Structure 1
Amino acid sequence: MMKRTQYAFGLCAIVAAAAWYFWSILPVDETVSQKVLGPAEQPQTDLLELTAEKLASAGIEVQPVTLHAMQPTRTLPGRLDYDQDRHVAIKTACDGILTEILAHPGTSVTRGQVVATVVSPEVGQARSQVQSRLADLSLAQTELGRNEAIREGVEQLVEMIRNQKSPEQIESELQDASLGEYRRTLVAAYTRQLLAKEVAKSSREAAVRGAIAGRIQSEREGEQQAAEAALASIADSALFDVQQKCKRSEADFASAKREVDISLQRLNALLGPAAPRATEQTFDQIHSDTISNVDLVSPIDGTVEERLSAATERVRAGDSIFTIADTSTLWAIADIRQRDWDAIRVSPGQQVRVTMPAIEDETLDGEIVIVGRRVDTATGAAPLVARVRSTDGRLRPGLFLRMKVPTGPPRPCIAVPEQAVVVHENQSFVFLADNEHQFHRVDVTIGAKEDGMTEIVRGLEVGDSIVVSGVFTLKSELLLASEGE
């Protein structure tokens, strides 16, 4: 009997244990659970209500959610380099001796400032040749001026002779004119023609009265005609002669001018682009003791970045003396890898954003100047060059950078300031303001980030009022409330 009783109790215990196990693994109806707990008993950990004192200390700021134009971008690595349009090497174009250094690395220079002097015998010979050619040009110019003055005088004299002006009037009006030998020959021929004309006129009256024979009258009229023909011939010859002399003088002057230009070009080729250009006007400033000197000048406003030679050194044509750069603008050169070629669509003139780890909290605006096509065989990348401004001198060539390049057109989307979004246990959320004192958490799904804004893919609508300042205070209060429960 006792054994049966123990067996019955054991069987009941086994049945009770099995029932408890199956009941524990069955799903609990949430509705039933809520009904059991009741609305007043549900934990409200997503809802916060702050006192006026906490609101003041937290610095809560609220703003409505709006649409924001966001542009897809790709971030490329790169480095700063000199602006190649404002980076020059000062080179000597001739052999010589570097006699004077007038600038040093770090020195600021202005355009046209002399930075070094080279003495070159070759330049001295070229300058001497230019001086000889200038002297020949001066003689040719004087000769041309003289012949042009004589031509004008002869033309004026011939015109007065043809108008039958008296010798006295001619002498008076042309007293200061340049006529050369033509004054004597033309005036003498004109005087003979006037005399023959007067004699023929007088004998003609005598022949009418029968005072002289007709033969004599004919001879005197022949002499008049011969004198007129001789005068016309001398006048024509004089005009032709002075015109030809002027043409020859013009040709000689042009030839002398070409020789000067050729000698100046030869000299400027020896001086090179780093020296002031030699011209006819500046040649008067050359003295015999400096005829072989070559002044090297800076072609831009900038800073001496590097000095490559020292005073008293012998230099050869093409040797670099200085490197000068204007660092007010620099080139940001990013690498476009093969995987990014199809995605990046930029052209010169577009704007990009440049950041550098060495300079925190600063974003630079850059303008695309070159979209490279040649791929570097060493890196497998093509260059993308943007020009950035350096106003405070903190940017230095060689610094590592990141360039944010657009890969598509802007698109409108819901976006909020980055500081409005907080994360806890891998879940992003924001705080919506129900009123001035009450806030509640809203989980969101975020998308792209750009210029301090975060795209909200899901969780918010335009017009929602969210907290944008004092968010971490609300997060702390929320976590404390959760721990308290």
Structure 2
Amino acid sequence: MKKTTIVLSITAAVLAVGAVVCYRTGVFPAAWQKALSLSAAHDEHEGHDEHDEHGAHEKHAEPGEGSGHGKEDGHGHGEAARGNLDPSEIEKATCEHNVRTVDCNECRYELGVVKVAPSVTDALIKTAEARQGDLGRTLRLTGEVQFDQTMLVDVLPAVRGRIVSVKAQLGQQVRKGDVLAVLHSGEFGEAKAAYLEALTLAEVAAQEKQRQAVITESLEKLLAASENERSPGLPGGVLGEWKSKLVGARARFRQAGTVLEREKSLVAKQASSQAELEAAEREMQTAQADYQALMEEIQLTVKLDRLKVENAAKLAEAKLNAVSQRLHLFGLDDGAIKAIPQMKENGTFAHLEVKAPRDGRITVLNVTEGRFVEETQTLYTIADTSNVWVWCDLYERDLGVLHDHMTKGATPAALVKVAAFPGGLDGRVDLVGSSVDESTRTVKVRVQVPNPEGRLRPGMFADVEIPLKEGKKVTYVPRQAVLSDEGQTFAFVHWKDDLWLRRDVRVGESRGELVEIVSGLSAGDRVVASGGFLFKSDILREKMGAGCAD
């Protein structure tokens, strides 16, 4: 199989070179015609081998019109091959050899018919189908690959300090959160110390708030009990500093009550005077009033104390949040902040880790150990090249068609080619500049290109193709399918079996490797797309000096 392929390839090359030589020299042997395009069919018309002996042929009727061959060349074939004849006329036409012209190896070319053996067709030519669709147009631009600015980040220190360690190097691939460098900063150490102080105050305020809540609960129970009992007992809950006052007031209240009851008993026995009873009653009323006043004072004071404690707790919490937010600005997360109280002082308390804010590759390195850096100084630049921008220059004359697509919300597809990877990468146009450069008269166009393998590098020059649909359907074929002779364009269309017809065509606009056919072909026609010069050589054999009596 391999040998057969090699032989066919060599044969095709030899035949191609021979055809070119014959075309340029004007000599085109009949044997070649038969081998390439006439199937080498030896038919019954032996009279063709005797043309040189008999001279000119007699005139015979032209296909479909009854006129004969011209007398200009001595072969009797005066007309060039004609295109676009109706197949029914071709079927009926006869040549001077009294056979159908289409069956005559020496005359069929006059009707624009070529007969090619399938084996030759398969080996030497390629065919394509005429299609109908939106041929559109393609904008061809030049541009430069640049970083996607939304995926590019400069790493700056959050605070001034001295670099004590460099962890990442130029060109290194890093992940979000990786430590790039470590710096020593007194300001950072002070911020951590402030956090510890605020944390302590917040904890104390929280405990005080909790203690006050317990006292308030006990006193509220006491107040509730005092409404139901004339001589309330001392509750068992925590009362704080009010405990001693309540104990004294309660004792005086109970003592006054005991004295009053004794005086009432003595008065009843006439053992005590009325004055003594009245004095005991006044003492009882005074003790009761003092007790009630103390309860009211406790109620008011407890509310004030509770309010003070709650405000103090809120203030401590706010201060803690403030210093925590400051630590967040230094790049610490919640976990790192909560771990500060457990840190041991080993000389690293004021060390701040500079971490990567995103995944990417380090493209700029501006840091060395021992160097003092400021907050405004860029230490690293990290770029994610999984997506890049290609900025192109679009001429003003081509702006209209792209603008129409963009205003409709479309993002036209684009093919980006660079010298290193000519196969190209797919992208999409997402932005057209809002101004025209005065010196170049061009508008900037941005193409977004996914670059997961990192093949495109910023700074590369690129050729960009942007195919655009125009909204109209046309018939089109490959550009190589259209041939020309003396200003007339034509193509070869498969007719039937091993027969092909020349069809004169009128071409329109071309788009890359495709060309519009205004007339002469219909969608679905099978045309010769490659190797058509063999067919053309046969059709123009008379022009090339190869008549029927060669």
The TM-score with structure 1 as length reference comes to 0.77
Query: CA shift at 1:247, angstroms?
Result: 1.7
Deviations 1:429-479 (A, max 9, x none): 5432212422233334141426x65433333233x4223xx7323433433
Q: Say if 2:225 and 2:232, in contact at 8 Å, map to a contact too.
A: no
Confirm whether residue 223 of structure 1 aligns to residue 283 of structure 2: yes
Contact 1:45 1:482 in 2 (8 A): no
Question: Which of 186, 195, 201 is equivalent to 2:246?
Answer: 186
Residue in 2 that maps onto 1:163: 228
Match of 1:79 in 2: 144
Give the Å deviation of 1:166.
7.9
Q: Which residue of the partner structure matches residue 117 of structure 2?
A: 51
- One-letter code of the match for 2:241? E
| SS of alignment partner, residue 381 of structure 2 | strand
Asked whether 1:445 is paired with 2:502, we answer no
Instruction: Name the CA distance, whole Å, in 1 between partners of 2:539 and 2:364.
Output: 64
Contact 1:130-1:263 at 8 Å conserved across structures: yes
Q: Per the alignment, in what secondary structure is the counterpart of residue 233 of structure 1?
A: helix
Matched, 1:364 2:426: yes
Q: How far 1:81 sits from its partner (Å)?
A: 0.9
Q: Give the conservation status (yes or no) of the 8 Å contact 1:276–1:297.
A: no
Q: Spell out the pairing of 1:98-113 with structure 2 (5 A cutoff).
A: 98-113=163-178
CA shift at 1:390, angstroms? 0.9
Q: Does 1:326 align with 2:384?
A: yes
Q: Which of residues 129, 136, 161 in structure 1 aligns to 2:194? A: 129
What pairs with 1:244-259 in structure 2 (closer than 5 Å)? 244-259=304-319
Shift of 1:70: 4.0
- Asked if the contact 1:144/1:249 (under 8 Å) is kept, the reply is yes
> 1:413·1:455 contact (CA, 8 Å) conserved in 2?
no
For residues 34-433 of structure 1, the aligned pairs below 5 Å read 34=69, 37=76, 40=95, 41=107, 43-44=109-110, 46-58=112-124, 60-63=126-129, 65-164=130-229, 170-171=235-236, 174=237, 178-197=238-257, 200=260, 204=264, 212-269=272-329, 271=330, 275-277=331-333, 280-284=337-341, 286-288=343-345, 289-345=347-403, 346=406, 350-358=411-419, 359-368=421-430, 370-373=431-434, 381-405=442-466, 410-416=470-476, 418=478, 421-423=481-483, 429-433=490-494
Is the 8 Å Cα contact of residues 143 and 462 (structure 2) preserved in structure 1? yes
Percent identity reads 21
- Give the match's secondary structure for 1:320: coil
Of 86-95 and 275-284, deviating more is: 275-284
Residues 1:215 and 1:298: Cα distance change in structure 2 (over 3 Å): same
Q: How far did residue 100 of structure 1 move?
A: 1.8
Of residues 88-97 and 278-287 in structure 1, the stretch that sits farther from structure 2 once superposed is: 278-287
**Structure that is richer in strand per residue:** 1
Change (3 A) 1:422 1:120: farther
- Read off the aligned partner of 2:320 and give its amino acid letter: V
User: Contact 1:302 / 1:326 at 8 angstroms: preserved in 2?
Assistant: yes
1:274-330 CA distance string (max 9 Å, x none)? x44577535346543222212111111112223222233332222222221111111
Q: Is the 8 A contact 2:125 2:530 kept in 1?
A: no
Taking structure 2 as the reference length, the TM-score comes to 0.69
In the aligned structure 2, how far is the partner of 1:341 from the partner of 1:326? 31
Structure 2: how far apart are the matches of 1:363 and 1:31? Answer: 60
Deviation at 1:44, TM superposition (A): 3.5
Distance 1:357 1:151 in 2: 79
Distance 1:205 1:475, change over 3 A: farther
After superposition, the Cα gap between the structure-2 partners of 1:221 and 1:337, relative to the gap in structure 1 and judged at 3 Å, is farther
Whether the 8 Å contact between 2:155 and 2:378 is mirrored in structure 1 is: yes
Report deviation, 1:363: 4.4
Q: Which moved more, 1:417-426 or 1:440-449?
A: 417-426
Q: Give the SS at the match of 1:244.
A: helix
CA distance in 2, matches of 1:280, 1:236: 46
CA distance in 1, matches of 2:265, 2:135: 118
Cα–Cα, structure 1 residues 418 and 257, in superposed 2: closer, same or farther, change >3 Å? farther
Relative to 1, partners in 2 of residues 1:445 and 1:143: Cα closer, same or farther, differing over 3 Å? Answer: same
CA–CA separation in structure 2 for the residues paired with 1:45 and 1:268: 88
Contact kept, 8 Å, 1:420 with 1:466, in 2: the verdict is no
Change (3 A) 1:211 1:414: same
Aligned partners of 1:169 and 1:240: how far apart in 2? 19
- Aligned letter for 2:461? F
Judged with a 3 Å threshold, the aligned counterparts in structure 2 of structure 1 residues 478 and 213 are, in CA distance, closer, same or farther, namely same
Say if 2:109 and 2:538, in contact at 8 Å, map to a contact too.
no
Q: Which secondary structure state, in structure 1, belongs to the residue aligned with residue 496 of structure 2?
A: coil
Change in Cα spacing, 1:422 to 1:337, as seen in structure 2 (3 Å) is closer
**Contact 1:376 1:382 (C-alpha < 8 Å) held by counterparts:** yes
| 1:338-357: CA deviation from partner (whole Å, max 9, x where unpaired) | 44555531257623313224
Structure 1's 326 and 42: CA in aligned 2 closer, same or farther, altered over 3 A? same
Counterparts in 2 of 1:208 and 1:446: CA distance versus 1, 3 Å: farther
SS of corresponding position for 1:344: helix
Partner of 2:525: 465
Aligned counterparts of 1:383 and 1:389: Cα–Cα separation in 2? 19
Distance, in Å, in 1 between the alignment partners of 2:111 and 2:230 is: 127
Question: How far apart in 2 are the matches of 1:85 and 1:356?
Answer: 23
Q: How many residues align?
A: 440
RMSD of equivalent CA atoms: 3.5
Distance 1:101 1:437, change over 3 A: farther
Cα distance in 1, alignment partners of residues 163 and 533 from structure 2: 71
Distance 1:209 1:448 in 2: 138
Do 1:446 and 1:458's aligned partners in 2 also have CA atoms closer than 8 Å? no
Per the alignment, in what secondary structure is the counterpart of residue 312 of structure 2? helix
| Closer/same/farther in 2, CA of residues 342 and 43 from structure 1, 3 Å limit | closer
CA contact (8 A) 2:167 2:179 kept: yes
Equivalent residues of 1:420, 1:430 under 8 A apart: no
The offset of 1:34, in angstroms, is 4.5
In structure 2, what is the Cα distance between the partners aligned to 1:253 and 1:123?
A: 26
Contact 2:363 2:380 in 1 (8 A): yes
User: Does the 8 Å contact 2:144/2:390 carry over to 1?
Assistant: yes
SS in 1 for 2:235: helix
Q: Distance in 2 between matches of 1:89 and 1:296?
A: 12
Deviation at 1:180, TM superposition (A): 0.8
- CA positional deviation for 1:202: 6.2
In structure 2, relative to structure 1, the CA distance for the partners of 1:284 and 1:455 (3 Å cut) is farther
